[in-house]
Amino acid sequence: MTVHKRRIVGNRLPRIDATSKVTGAIVYGADYARNGMIHGAILRSPHPHARIRNIDAREALAAPGVFCVVTAADIPSERFGSFVKDIDVFAKEVVRYKGHPVAAVGARTREEAEAALPLIRVEYEELPVVATVEEAMADDARLVHEEWESYEANATLVRRGNIANHTRLTVGDADAAFAGAWRVFEHSFRTNLQHPGYTEPRAAVAEWDQDRLTVWSSTQTPFEQQSTLAAIFRIPASNVRVSVPAIGGAFGGKLRIGVEHVAAALARKARRPAKVMLTLEEEIATGYCRQPAHIRLKLGVDRDLRIVAKAGRMLVDCGAMSGSGVGVASSGLLMLAGPYVIPNLAIEGFAVYTNKAPTGSFRAPSGPQGNFACESQMDMVARELGVDPLEFRLKNIVRDGDKGPTGQEMGTVSVEECLLKAAEAIGWDKPVVEPGRGRGIACGWWTMTGQSSNVFVKVNPDGRVVVNSGCAEIGSGAITGAMQVLAEELGVDLEDITVVNADTASTPFDFGAQGSRTASMVGNACADAVRNLAAKAFPVAAQIMGVTADSCSFGYKAIVSGNQSVPLAQVAASLQSGAGGLIAEGSYIQPGTPFDKDRTSGMVIPVVNSPSYHAHAVDLTVDEETGEVTINKYVVAQDVGFAINPTYIEGQIEGGVIQAIGQTMYEEIVWENGEVRNGNLTDYKMPTAEDAPEVVSILVERAGLTGPYGAKGVGEPPVIEPPATLANAVHDASGVRVTDLPITPEKIALGRVRGN
Amino acid sequence: MKTEIVTLRINGHQEDVLVRQGQSLLSVLRDTLGMTGTKINCREAECGVCSVEMDGRVVNSCLVDARMAQGSDIVTIEGVQEAEGLDILQQCFVRHGAVQCGYCIPGMIMAARGLLRENPRPTREEIRQGLSGVLCRCTGYQKIVDAVEDAAGTLVQTREGAI
């Protein structure tokens, strides 16, 4: 790839969808409508665990405006799921969490559908509840899924009873290393259940034409929805079209199917288009949230302050369906190990079923949980040893040429640079003088999801460009970033490009808007398409100019050779009339990262792919009496490889930090005995503009090996370090160490009283 | 179901709409009139994405009973754009990268208009207070505050320039 021209990439250009978003013209999934559409509402289980004895929908069917009622009897298939097929569209015999869908009503209006819900008579026989991971892990535990053994599952998983995956990361001999260590430390941590908090509720519209299904939904993964819907309704995948209107935020919460199958079931039965949109109460109680984790970590160091061994255990509370929890128990081990060189590791994870709502793949799944434990412990150990926490980190961090926890070769490592830049910006070496004021620092790494992205690129006879990409724009601006790569390589302006995206009928396959991959993977596919466009366009241009094709290159809206040029539009027009058009496909497939399989068991995410590195630092004040925290300055130094569009990268950092401050300081969905205690926005508080501090972003550019121009994954990392960074600073400021999230003023004040 | 006809003035156009008992102004805009620029989320006035102007005041349209809006002047995001293009606030949101998923942006822009009418020279702190009724989960608000600050400065300059 050429790197000398930087006309478009690296520039702060406005995103391609900005204008249609500020005018309200763009249509989101929640806005989508079809003629004659009915509206659905979901009847959910009032019990955390119960057997369904009988469902009688006769009265509901007679209610005003009602078209149909659907239950498990209307779904042709059994169960589905990404790693374990343990999910049903509607509970068949057993409800496994309060909120488990039992039936749905389709009616003229949403209000009529809701009014008919209580008219469906369901007889339940209540069963004992598995409310916590401790209960689920007990030897005599009641099973959340009695038939777990019969479920189809990914072959890497290690399953048993309520444990959907038991993972292990083993390097060297940790026991022997602890025995020979100078000092050994043990700590425990707990993290909280956080909702992604997107402002657009999950919504889908479904429509059937005989055995052909079309679904419009704000999903991050239309191709996954396509195959899932095909399996649920037992029809060929080619009969399912999934089209993605604009997405009103997702953060991983719209990866897995959520409402699409219910809309499709209603539309099928009513023979009318049907829309399902969740209420906020449904969102909080049943959204695909971040798994809470219970973590124990043991760290051994030698007299030179080098880490000689780390051992630990992570219990991941998946809720009633395993979902992404089996992956969190995998990548979580890499996060617990952290970006450090540690010769002996013995870390295990358990993805555990409980009778609570299923969880999901919220932005950097496992990142905040694992990093909170790892980086809080680094701080606690450094302080116990009386050394500077920054120095202790610098002594042990991974550098170029080191091996990762599972044996992967580490290259383009920048954690030292990130730490030093964050420390400098926060004034780490200057003494803190004010009482109640303190600083904290934490570092980490994150993986980028790879797989494949594909595009079709067409240059129209007017020289403008249309791109078909199977990847949705979830809001981050990553599609704009990918189009900046295309514009740069092809020599056009960003405004010349129109994107048709995320429609399984008209766009090529894409692995989806997830895992910090979009800008890099779609960008790489675009660069590949430009090479293929060149192969078609250069011979034509060469003929017009009377030169050889291999002397041609793309200039600004032209093909150039020496001091001659021919407009791109002219070549496209010529190819349209003579050879069917200037159109090419582009593909990118991320190569796998080699690792040592002997070190892992059950780990479905065994490596940190195309790693990014980051360090956060904060300066804050804790009110001596109330425990209230005021953030004075928050700094992020993040290695983005190459900043394709600094504005939107800063946007990811600013937004991610505030979202993670939410997790750290305010947000927790509280389940007690199988019920949510705070299912509304008054009791579940997300940061407002008044709560949010300003964030200083330092973009480190250590070119990586995969993304365009060396770009690394950007979107997920900013939520990883805030919990540990803030916990470390709160301790520095107040002397109180909080090891269970969220860090509320009450916990700080209480800790002070108890002399923590 | 009881219905009645309600007359509203929406973005300068008179609309006579058949309103169901208990139907919100938000539902009239989105479901009856198909004006989906105004967004729906919490339906309990906590998130602010449904903000519109009603007789010059910013309200959460999800909690306004449509019958109580009889005769009111309503401005929605669709009425903000000027004949010659984006208005200053919209331009500043675009220029400062204040838009990510964009779902809260109609509500943010309506809230910002209300704020700047009442306080044409707000500090960053006052902007944050003025926008605190609208939740955004993408941006962390920083670039939104930048945009509103820039718009305020430009509007004050334009006004002073005109005098």
CATH top-level class of A38-127+198-250+254-286: alpha beta
Of B42, B90, B145, the CB nearest to A681: B42
Return mean pLDDT, chain B.
96
Q: Please say if the pLDDT value at position A78 is more than 90.
A: no
**Joined tokens for residue A458:** 């067409």
Q: Please say if the pLDDT value at position A482 is more than 80.
A: yes
Residue A519, Cα to own-chain centre: how many angstroms? 14
Of A22, A201, A651, the CB nearest to B139: A651
Q: Please say if the pLDDT value at position A123 is more than 50.
A: yes
Q: Reduced to 3 states, what is the DSSP secondary structure of residue B143?
A: helix
Residue of A16, A20, A21 to mutate, testing the B interface (most B Cβ within 10 Å of its Cβ) = A21
Strand A50-56 to strand A94-95: parallel, antiparallel, or no bridges (unpaired)?
antiparallel
Q: Please say if the pLDDT value at position A316 is more than 90.
A: yes
Q: Per DSSP, which regions of A590-743 are E strands?
A: 600-601, 612-622, 629-639, 671-672, 675-676, 695-700
Q: A567: closest CA among A581, A578, A556?
A: A556
Q: What's the rounded Cα separation, in Å, for the pair A28 and A22?
A: 13
**Joined tokens for residue A61:** 């069917």
Give B1's contacts in chain A (Cβ within 8 Å).
64
Which pLDDT score is estimated for B163? 56
**Joined tokens for residue A459:** 């240059």
Provide the percentage of residues in chain B whose pLDDT is more than 90.
93
Q: Reduced to 3 states, what is the DSSP secondary structure of residue A730?
A: helix
φ, ψ at B82 (rounded to 5°): -90, 165
Give A657's contacts in chain B (Cβ within 8 Å).
140
CB contact under 8 A, A246 and B39: no
CB contact under 8 A, B137 and A28: no
Q: Reduced to 3 states, what is the DSSP secondary structure of residue B137?
A: coil
CB contact under 8 A, A246 and B102: yes
pLDDT digits (tens, 9 = 90+) for A668-724: 999 998 999 998 888 899 999 999 999 999 999 999 999 999 999 999 999 999 999
- For range A433-461, the mean pLDDT: 97
Contact B108/B102 with Cβ under 8 angstroms? no
Q: How many CB atoms lie within 10 A of CB A678?
A: 16
| B63: contact with A, CB 8 A cutoff | no
Query: What is the DSSP code (8-state) at residue A686?
Result: P
Q: Reduced to 3 states, what is the DSSP secondary structure of residue A344?
A: strand
Q: What's the rounded Cα separation, in Å, for the pair A414 and A398?
A: 9
Q: What's the rounded Cα separation, in Å, for the pair A283 and A289?
A: 10
Residue of A23, A111, A682, A694 to mutate, testing the B interface (most B Cβ within 10 Å of its Cβ) = A23
CB contact under 8 A, A21 and B131: no
Residue of B24, B137, B139, B143 to mutate, testing the A interface (most A Cβ within 10 Å of its Cβ) = B137
Q: What's the rounded Cα separation, in Å, for the pair A752 and B145?
A: 36
Complete DSSP assignment for A598-641:
GGEES-SS-S--S-EEEEEEEEEEE-TTT--EEEEEEEEEEE-S
Of A199, A650, A651, the CB nearest to B103: A199
- The nearest alpha carbon in chain A to B89 belongs to A22
**Joined tokens for residue A153:** 């599952």
Of A31, A277, A695, the CB nearest to B36: A31
CA distances to A147, A267, A575, A605 from A73, rounded to whole Å, are: 19, 15, 55, 36
CA distances to A33, A70, A403 from A206, rounded to whole Å, are: 10, 14, 49
Q: Please say if the pLDDT value at position A196 is more than 60.
A: yes
CB contact under 8 A, B142 and A694: yes
Q: Reduced to 3 states, what is the DSSP secondary structure of residue A745?
A: helix
| B134: contact with A, CB 8 A cutoff | yes
Give B62's contacts in chain A (Cβ within 8 Å).
none
CA angle A736, A741, A747 (to 5 degrees): 40
Query: Is there a shared CATH topology between the A18-25+450-589 domain and the A293-397+412-448+595-754 domain?
Result: yes
Residue of B101, B105, B131 to mutate, testing the A interface (most A Cβ within 10 Å of its Cβ) = B101
- Sole residue written with tokens 């919460």: A253
Q: B46: closest CA among A99, A283, A747?
A: A283
Distance from CA of A640 to the nearest CA of B (A): 18
Helices (H), A360-501: 367-385, 389-396, 415-426, 478-490
> Which of the four pLDDT bands, split at 50, 70 and 90, describes residue A2?
very low
β-strand partners of A194? A290
Return mean pLDDT, chain A.
97
CATH top-level class of A293-397+412-448+595-754: alpha beta
Q: What's the rounded Cα separation, in Å, for the pair B131 and B113?
A: 10
Q: What's the rounded Cα separation, in Å, for the pair A564 and A572?
A: 17
- For range A569-578, the mean pLDDT: 93
Q: What's the rounded Cα separation, in Å, for the pair B61 and B75?
A: 11
Q: Please say if the pLDDT value at position A105 is more than 60.
A: yes
Query: Which pTM was predicted?
Result: 0.97
Which pLDDT score is estimated for A1? 46
Give B127's contacts in chain A (Cβ within 8 Å).
689
Q: How far apart are the first and last CA of chain A?
A: 56
Q: What's the rounded Cα separation, in Å, for the pair A150 and A570?
A: 62
Give A495's contacts in chain B (Cβ within 8 Å).
none
Fold of A18-25+450-589: Aldehyde Oxidoreductase; domain 4 (3.30.365)
CB contact under 8 A, B78 and A24: yes
- For range A281-285, the mean pLDDT: 95
Q: What is the ipTM of this complex?
A: 0.98
CB contact under 8 A, A200 and B101: yes
Q: What's the rounded Cα separation, in Å, for the pair A340 and A327?
A: 21
Which pLDDT score is estimated for A756? 57
Q: How many CB atoms lie within 10 A of CB B122?
A: 20
Q: Is the dihedral of CA A552, A555, A560, A563 positive or negative?
A: negative
Per-domain residue ranges for chain A? Answer: 18-25+450-589, 38-127+198-250+254-286, 293-397+412-448+595-754
Q: What residue ranges of chain B have pLDDT lower than 50?
A: none
pLDDT digits (tens, 9 = 90+) for A661-683: 999 999 999 999 899 999 888 88
> Which of the four pLDDT bands, split at 50, 70 and 90, describes residue A4?
low
Checking A492-495 for CB contacts under 8 A at 24+ apart, the result is A492/A463, A492/A464, A492/A465, A492/A557, A492/A568, A493/A8, A493/A557, A494/A8, A494/A13, A494/A16
Provide the percentage of residues in chain A whose pLDDT is more than 90.
97
The backbone region for A515, taken as left when phi is positive above 0, alpha when psi lies in -120 to 50, beta otherwise, is left
pLDDT digits (tens, 9 = 90+) for A202-222: 999 999 999 999 999 999 999
| B117: contact with A, CB 8 A cutoff | no
Give B126's contacts in chain A (Cβ within 8 Å).
none
Q: What's the rounded Cα separation, in Å, for the pair A496 and A499?
A: 10
Q: What's the rounded Cα separation, in Å, for the pair A536 and A8?
A: 24
CB contact under 8 A, B137 and A647: no
